[in-house]
Each structure stands twice: as C-alpha cells, then as structure tokens.
Amino acid sequence: MNEYVCPGGQAFVQNQKRSIHVDMTGLLAKLNRCIAQGPHIVFDTRPSGFGKTWACDMLCAFYDWTVDGPAIFKGLDIAEDPSFDEYRNRYVVIRLDMAELFAHERDYELGASRVQMLCGRELMMNYPDVCIHDYRALALTMEAVYLDYRRSFVVVVDNWDEPLRQARGDKNARRVYAQLLRTLIHNRYTALAYLTGIVSPSMCWNDLFAFGVVESSCMSSNPFGPYRGFGKQQVETLSRCWIRDFEALSSWYGDSRAHGGDSPYAESFSPSSVVLAMADEGYRCRRNLFGRNEPYAEHIDRKVANMPLKLAMLLAGGSVSIDPEDPRRGTEAYLATDNGQLELLVHMGCLSFDAQADTVYIPNKEAYELLEQLIGLSKKPTYPFGDTRWKDYHKDRQRRREKTGV
C-alpha cells in the first residue's frame, strides 16, 4: 500500500465500520462542483476535533482510481448525487500530512526537496512505464504521468498551516514552503486541491496565495460550512439511538447560532466530542489545548491591548465585537492585535463567530473550559447542573474563589 500516492480507501472503510458514524459525504458533491466550475483550490480549515483527517480519508476513497468506489459508498448520500459516476475514482491522488512531514524539519529547503522526492519516487513506482528523468522534480513527474495516462491529480493536504506556524518570522522558509504548495496545487494537471488545517490563509498568509481559492473556515460563510460539524438532526438521531440527553449534548458541545435557519445543520456540534460522549455517556470537556491546538496556544497574549477586558466579557457570557475587515488581516502582524487574537481563538474552537453581528462569543460549556485552560483561570473547572446562566455562574465562581481561595 502506498503512503503518499494513491493511498486507497482503507482508512475511510475503517471509519465506516465504527459503531457511531454520520454520513457527511455530501461534501463530495460540493467538491465535484469545484472541479467542474472552479476554483479548484479549496482551503477547508476547522478547529481540532472537527473531522479534518476524516475528510481527507473520504476524499482519498472517493477520487483514488485504484479504489472500488461503488462498493464503499453504497447507501451513502453521495451515491445518489448526479455527479457520483462522473467524478468517482478517476484521479491520481496525492495525500500529504504536513505536520508529520515537517515535524522535526529545520531546513525547509531540504524538507521541501524530501517531500518532492517521496512523492516522485512513489509515482515512478506506480507508473514504471512513464519516462521520468528525475523523480525529485515533482512538477515534471506529475506532468509526465498526466500526459501518458491522461489522469488528472487530486492533491489532499492535511495540516497545511503547521509548517508556516513553525516558520513564523522566517521569510525564506515561508517562501520555500509556499513554492512547494504551488508546485502541488497550482498547475494544469491538478483537478482539485483540498487543504485542511486550523488557520485559514486569509488570516496571516494572504500574500502567499495570489491565485483564486475557495476558503471555508470558522470566519466565513459558504456551502462547505454545514459539513464542518455534526448537525442538529444528526445529533438528535444519535441521542435517540444511544439513549443520551440531547439537551446536555447541546449545552456542552453544540453551537445554536451556527448556520441558522431550519436546515438539518442549523446547530453545529463538535464531532469528536459527541462521539466520545455517546461512547461512555459522560458530559465533560473532550477537547484540550494539546495536540494540534497546542502550538497555537503560545501565540495567545493577554497583554495585547483590550484583551483582558474582552476575555472577561466573554467569560461573563457576553459577546465581543471583532473587525473582520482589519487592514492588517492577512499578515503575520495581525496576530499581535486584539482582532487577530480573537480570530485565532475562533480557529482554535474556543470561540464562535457571528457573521451577521461581527461578534465572537463562547458557544458551549466545552469551549468555556478550553478558554479557561488557555488563560489559566482554573485547572479543573466544574459546572452546576441545570440551566444556570453563564453570567450568574461566573459570578458564583468568583465569589467562591474569594471565600476559599480555590
């Protein structure tokens, strides 16, 4: 089994066999439209625990020409879509996890060369009859495969933003990494490029991508939004099947303001947290600041102007205004502003963004605990039972601290 080129659909099949599974294959129909109509480059950024890797596994199973798509997707939503037979299993898929490939890399030029070598070598092994003069030149290798087999590429990149975060302040490393991405995604033989991560390019690195892209993030409203988390109807169905309290799930893991309307996705839930709550019937914080979120936590600075007051307002149950049109947005300097700090908290899943009011707020109890962990208010916060309002609860906790010192 290949690791980078045509990795197959085994990972998606294993996900399907789990006892708790929600059909999110409608995302594939949206991506098929991107192939047909453009733009063909999609940045789909989500907080940790919202199914980024799962989405990458699904794309590999659907587009990889070596996979038996009809057998895998039988009975799922995408099988009923008119675009199913037109786009399924017709492409050479390249799948990369940049967090893994650049985990210990200090020389980005060497790291970029290694990525091209790994992909080029597997392309040469899979297509031995193609005349490839130097498999370390990935662009030429991809072009040779395309010209000989007339198969376009689908490039799937997980954790695309991790190398840029590591290279913060290093302009040469950013340039080298951006050039690697352009080699993979901005060419005539790549039919679709799907990149996932935590932070969107328009927040800090807008200057690296001058070509047209589709951006789906916690700060943008677009057709991909409903597939960022579980919808209300989906979680209601799961709660009935597993005999769980839907109201408790909603207060801990839901976001009642997300998407809006009466659609099945009117309320967005954290997928990983819901699945774990179904498995062991416990309502508590399932996500933490470790893993993929941990590197970004170090960029949160409470000393930034107005941040202490805004954090206090959020913890008291209020909403805080944010300016999505900040002129500094799109550059690394944006992170040193209060708007940049609040947007980073949105991308980390500690806050949610209300696009109609241009405000941020704490969507649920789990996000509240994440934010408390981040700013160091408490190590193991507990919550009263019932429907206590956030503002009253915060006041009660402050009084208890004053009395007990805990």
Q: What does the domain layout of the chain look like in residue ranges?
A: 10-225, 229-280, 294-395
* CA distances to 102, 106, 173 from 163, in Å: 6, 10, 9
Question: Measured between alpha carbons, how far is 237 from 21 in angstroms, rounded to an integer?
Answer: 11
pLDDT beneath 70, residues of the chain: 1, 133-135, 207-211, 221-222, 257-267, 281, 288-299, 301-302, 376-406
- At 376 the pLDDT is 67
3-state secondary structure of 46: coil
Give Cα separations from 114 to 92, 117, 138, 233, 328 (angstroms): 20, 5, 10, 45, 34
- The residues pairing with 254 across neighbouring beta strands, listed in sequence order, are 269
pLDDT of residue 389: 43
Q: What is the pLDDT of residue 258?
A: 64
pLDDT at 82: 92
Compute the distance between CA of residue 62 and CA of residue 100 in angstroms, rounded to an integer: 23
Please tell me what DSSP assigns to residue 187.
Answer: S
Q: Which helix (H) or strand (E) holds 357?
A: none
Q: Is the CB of residue 73 less than 8 Å from the CB of residue 88?
A: yes
DSSP state of 10: H
| Helix spans in 222-306 (H) | 232-241, 246-253, 271-280, 294-297
Looking at domain 10-225, its CATH architecture is 3-Layer(aba) Sandwich (3.40)
Nearest Cα to 216, choosing from 234, 201, 230? 201
Length in residues, the chain = 406
pTM of the model: 0.86
Q: What CA–CA distance (Å, rounded) separates 4 from 120? A: 10
Dihedral sign from CA coordinates of 33, 36, 37, 42? positive
For residues 87 and 63, is the Cβ–Cβ distance under 8 A?
yes
pLDDT given for residue 396 in this prediction: 58
pLDDT tens digits along 19-29: 787 888 999 99
- pLDDT given at position 385: 33
Neighbours of 100 (CB within 10 A): 11
119 within 8 A of 138, measured Cβ to Cβ: yes
The sign of the CA dihedral 171, 176, 178, 182 is positive
